[in-house]
Structures are given as structure tokens and as C-alpha cells.
């Protein structure tokens, strides 16, 4: 993709994404949304990029949504991407979700005014530094709208519910010093020292750490914010220690420490992340995929991890079994129709909470089990199940979805 509203540069193993509409104080647009998502895809694909710094061109970071359409700016929703129900998805939210999934640490260098989406897009960034000239505001209530970019999830987790409520309810614009006192930013710098401080932090990560370990650690820290018990973290920790403990990175890390020399970690995210991540996940809708047929005859099939799920899928097991795990897949539609047939075999299908499912299962001298992750929780899907069994069983299990990270997908 060619960029017209951002700039993307790589130097010294650090990617810099610069919001590049200085004449409009880098105001956010639908086009900027697409470009930012593509830039994070690009950074994730490049093994030489170890960290990402995001800043703004000119005297502003981002003045929020471009209000060029006046009073009708928000009348058509947040972007040109719609759900199956016809609801426009929030563009800032698509960017935030993409940053949340980043495999590289993200550092926000807030060089000037950052209001509305200009500040909420920074919340899924790992560290935020601000210039003394920065002015920040969650101004949504003063514009007659509500917080966006998933900030109602991120902001209270970063600064606490009391501070989040005060800033959101008043909608006031406040100084970098108040942001520092409220723990929204890590540090405040003179304008000409902001980017050097951000790059110094990025270099400390790039020069001293293993990229795969940082990618996994980033996902563990963020995703554990939604865990309901430390046991979830313990499971992820245990798998991570086992997996990474056998890696070439670990051997190099220990050897370099004992030999008192800088480490040269050999593993790469593209090849050595659990599940072998081969492509960066975008923040927009997936390209439609054709109907899928999964077939097992006197053998088994298994489909897990990240893959494009079509709107309609058929699974068939004859003298064999199958597992279809949809919890971590990319969906072409928020609604999916699944036809499953088992003859002297068994199937298990796991479904995530954000997808509506029309499931039809038939078992003849076999079994069919449906596990619905998140059923009965806020935001859980509408699930319609029609099952038939002849000399076999059709089972339905409901359980809450476990927070996912790459360590749990094995």
C-alpha cells in the first residue's frame, strides 16, 4: 500500500510510523485507518523490526477525527466497514485492535495535541511518552458521542476507573503533567528530547532481548488483563517456559550471560513463534473465503489456530474423528453456518463468543460435541443448534472462553 496520510520508516531495527497530515494537525480519517493497519502489518512481517515508535508530523500528534464534514461528521458511523447487521465499525477501534495484536512493542511519542481518537489510539501502545507541549483530552461527551477505539476497555485498566471516569465525564483537555500524574504517560520531555527518549527505549529492547520472547511476553501481559484467575497466567507461563526453555534463544541467552558478552539471539518471529506466525493479522475484515469441506475417512482431521473461516462450512467424519477450533480464527462474517456429519466417528467444534452460529449436527453410530466458549456471558452469540443422533450421541457443552495467547494454542 502506498501511504498518503502517514509515513513509515525503518532505521536501527526500529519502525517509525508518523501521522502525516500536519496542515490538519494529523486529524484521523478513514484512509488513515487503513494506512495505520497496513503499517502495523508491515512491521510485524519484518523480522528486522524490533520495536515501533508512533508520532505525529509538525506541532500536533493527532487532533482527533477530521471534522471537515461539520455536524454530519459522525452521522454515518465510524468507518466504511460494516458488520453483517449493517452497523459501521468504529475506525479507531479497528486501529486499536490491530495495535493490541502487534507482535512488536509499540511506543507512543505524543509530540503535541492528542484528543479524541488521537489519544485513544495510543492506549493499546505499550509505553507513552509526551512532550511538554502535549495537550490531551477524552472530549467525546463534549461532542455528544461516546468513547471509541475500545477505550472503555483500555483506559480504566491503565489509569483506574476513578481517573478514567473523571477525564471521560468532564471531557476536559489537560496538560502532559496531569497525564503523568494520572499515569497515562510514562514521562514528559522537552519537545526536542521526546523522540530521542522514545528511540533510546526502543534501542534498549532491540539490543538486549529476544524478539520471540518479547512478542510472547507482550501478548501475555495484555491478555492477562482479562483473565479471571492467576491460574490462567500460570498455565501460559508453564507452557512458555517449557517451549522457550528448549529454544536456541535460551541457549544463547544463558551462554552470553556466562561469557559476559552481548547476546545474538537467532530465533525469528516469522518462524519460531508458537504456531509459526506466517502473516500479520490485519484489523479489517477478512477477504471472503469459499465454502470449506473438512473430510475424514478412516483417519482424523484437525483445524486449529489462525485461518479464514467461510460463512458456510461442512465437516464429515467416516470411521474417523475431527476437531475444528474456531476460537482464534479470522471470520469472513459474524455469522457462520456449520453442517457436521459423523458416521462411526466423532467430532468436536469449538466456537468463540463473538460469532453467531447456526449449527446442524448428525451422528450415526458416532458422536458430535459442540463447545460454545463464552455462552451466557455479556456479548455471547446467538447459537442455534439442531442435532440428530442414531446409535450415537450429540452433545453440547457451554463454558466461558479462556483468554487466548499464542502459548495456549498448542
H or E segment to which residue 7 belongs: strand 6-11
The yes-or-no verdict on residue 74 having pLDDT over 80 is no
pLDDT (mean) for 251-259? 97
Give the whole-angstrom CA distance, residue 405 versus residue 98.
Answer: 15
The yes-or-no verdict on residue 379 having pLDDT over 60 is no
Q: How many Cα atoms sit within 13 Å of 298 on the Cβ side? A: 0
pLDDT (mean) for 92-119? 96
The yes-or-no verdict on residue 248 having pLDDT over 50 is yes
Please state the domain extents for the chain. 6-206, 209-272, 292-408
pLDDT (mean) for 352-362? 65
From 383, 333, 379, select the one nearest 85 (Cα to Cα). Answer: 333
Q: For position 324, what pLDDT does the model report?
A: 75
Specify the higher pLDDT residue, 290 or 259. 259
The yes-or-no verdict on residue 44 having pLDDT over 70 is yes
Q: For position 72, what pLDDT does the model report?
A: 65
For residue 359, name the pLDDT band (cuts at 50, 70, 90): low
**Phi, psi at 40, each rounded to 5°:** -70, -35
Specify the higher pLDDT residue, 207 or 288. 207
Q: For position 142, what pLDDT does the model report?
A: 94
Give the whole-angstrom CA distance, residue 392 versus residue 319.
Answer: 13
CB 174 within 8 A of CB 167: yes
pLDDT, one tens digit per residue, over 12-42 is 999 999 999 999 999 999 999 999 999 999 9
For residue 269, name the pLDDT band (cuts at 50, 70, 90): very high
Give the whole-angstrom CA distance, residue 382 versus residue 376.
Answer: 10
Q: For position 80, what pLDDT does the model report?
A: 72
pLDDT (mean) for 235-259? 94
List beta partners, residue 367. Answer: 346, 393
List beta partners, residue 362. Answer: 341, 388
The yes-or-no verdict on residue 97 having pLDDT over 60 is yes
CB 145 within 8 A of CB 74: yes
Q: For position 374, what pLDDT does the model report?
A: 41
Give the whole-angstrom CA distance, residue 375 versus residue 377.
Answer: 6
- Residue 363: Cβ within 10 Å count: 26
Q: Buried (b) or exposed (e) across 8-34, using 16+ Cβ within 10 A?
A: beeeebbbbbbbbbeebbbbbbebbbb
Please state the separation of Cα 284 from the chain's center in Å: 11
Q: For position 87, what pLDDT does the model report?
A: 77
Q: For position 336, what pLDDT does the model report?
A: 74
For residue 306, name the pLDDT band (cuts at 50, 70, 90): low
Q: For position 323, what pLDDT does the model report?
A: 75
For residue 360, name the pLDDT band (cuts at 50, 70, 90): low
Domain 209-272 sits in CATH 1.10.12.10: yes
H or E segment to which residue 337 belongs: strand 335-343
CB 15 within 8 A of CB 43: yes
Please state the separation of Cα 205 from the chain's center in Å: 21
Mean pLDDT over each residue of the chain, to the nearest integer: 81
Q: For position 70, what pLDDT does the model report?
A: 67
Give the whole-angstrom CA distance, residue 307 versus residue 283.
Answer: 15
Least confident residue range of 167-176, 187-196, 263-272? 263-272
Least confident residue range of 110-114, 281-285, 291-295, 396-400? 281-285
From 388, 397, 396, select the one nearest 365 (Cα to Cα). Answer: 388
Sign of CA dihedral 259, 263, 266, 270: positive
Q: What is the DSSP string of 166-208?
A: HHHHH--EEEHHHHHHTTSSSEEE-GGGHHHHHHHHHHHHHHH
Q: For position 188, what pLDDT does the model report?
A: 98
Start-to-end C-alpha separation, the chain: 33
> Which CATH code of 3.90.226.10, 3.30.2290.10, 3.30.720.200, 3.30.1330.10 fits the domain covering 6-206?
3.90.226.10
pLDDT (mean) for 293-303? 61
pLDDT (mean) for 113-140? 97
pLDDT, one tens digit per residue, over 131-151 is 999 999 999 999 999 999 999
Amino acid at each position: 500500500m502506498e501511504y498518503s496520510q502517514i509515513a513509515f520508516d525503518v532505521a536501527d531495527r526500529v519502525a517509525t510510523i508518523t501521522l502525516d497530515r500536519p496542515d490538519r494537525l494529523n486529524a484521523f480519517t478513514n484512509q488513515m485507518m487503513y494506512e495505520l493497519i497496513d503499517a502495523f502489518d508491515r512491521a510485524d512481517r519484518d523480522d528486522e523490526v524490533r520495536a515501533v515508535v508512533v508520532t505525529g508530523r509538525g506541532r500536533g500528534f493527532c487532533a482527533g477525527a477530521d471534522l471537515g464534514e461539520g455536524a454530519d461528521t459522525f452521522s454515518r458511523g465510524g468507518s466504511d466497514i460494516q458488520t453483517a447487521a449493517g452497523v459501521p465499525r468504529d475506525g479507531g477501534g479497528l486501529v486499536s485492535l490491530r495495535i493490541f495484536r502487534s507482535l512488536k512493542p509499540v511506543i507512543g511519542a505524543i509530540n503535541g495535541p492528542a484528543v479524541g481518537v488521537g489519544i485513544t489510539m495510543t492506549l493499546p501502545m505499550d509505553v507513552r511518552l509526551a512532550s511538554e507541549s502535549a495537550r490531551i483530552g477524552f472530549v467525546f461527551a463534549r461532542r455528544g458521542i461516546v468513547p471509541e477505539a475500545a477505550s472503555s476497555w483500555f483506559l480504566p485498566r491503565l489509569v483506574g476507573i476513578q481517573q478514567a471516569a473523571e477525564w471521560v465525564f468532564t471531557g476536559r483537555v489537560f496538560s502532559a503533567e496531569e497525564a503523568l500524574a494520572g499515569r497515562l504517560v510514562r514521562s514528559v520531555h522537552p519537545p526536542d528530547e521526546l523522540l530521542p527518549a522514545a528511540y533510546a527505549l526502543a534501542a534498549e529492547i532491540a539490543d538486549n532481548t529476544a524478539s520471540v520472547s518479547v512478542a510472547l511476553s507482550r501478548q501475555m501481559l495484555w491478555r492477562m488483563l482479562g483473565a479471571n484467575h492467576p491460574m490462567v497466567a500460570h498455565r501460559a507461563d508453564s507452557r512458555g517456559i517449557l517451549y522457550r526453555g528448549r529454544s536456541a534463544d535460551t541457549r544463547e541467552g544463558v551462554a552470553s550471560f556466562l561469557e559476559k558478552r552481548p547476546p545474538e539471539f537467532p530465533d525469528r518471529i516469522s518462524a519460531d513463534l508458537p504456531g509459526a506466525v506466517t502473516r500479520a493479522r490485519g484489523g479489517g475484515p477478512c477477504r471472503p473465503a469459499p465454502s470449506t469441506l473438512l473430510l475424514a475417512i478412516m483417519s482424523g482431521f484437525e483445524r486449529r489456530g489462525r485461518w479464514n473461516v467461510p460463512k458456510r462450512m461442512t465437516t464429515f467424519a467416516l470411521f474417523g474423528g475431527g476437531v475444528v477450533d474456531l476460537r482464534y480464527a479470522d471470520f469472513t462474517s459474524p455469522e457462520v453456518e456449520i453442517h457436521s456429519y459423523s458416521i462411526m466417528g466423532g467430532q468436536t467444534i469449538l466456537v468463540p463468543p463473538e460469532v453467531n452460529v447456526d449449527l446442524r449436527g448428525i451422528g450415526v453410530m458416532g458422536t458430535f460435541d459442540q463447545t460454545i466458549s463464552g455462552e451466557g456471558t455479556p456479548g455471547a452469540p446467538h447459537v442455534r443448534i439442531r442435532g440428530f443422533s442414531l446409535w450415537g450421541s450429540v452433545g453440547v457443552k457451554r463454558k466461558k472462553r479462556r483468554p487466548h495467547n499464542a502459548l495456549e494454542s498448542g
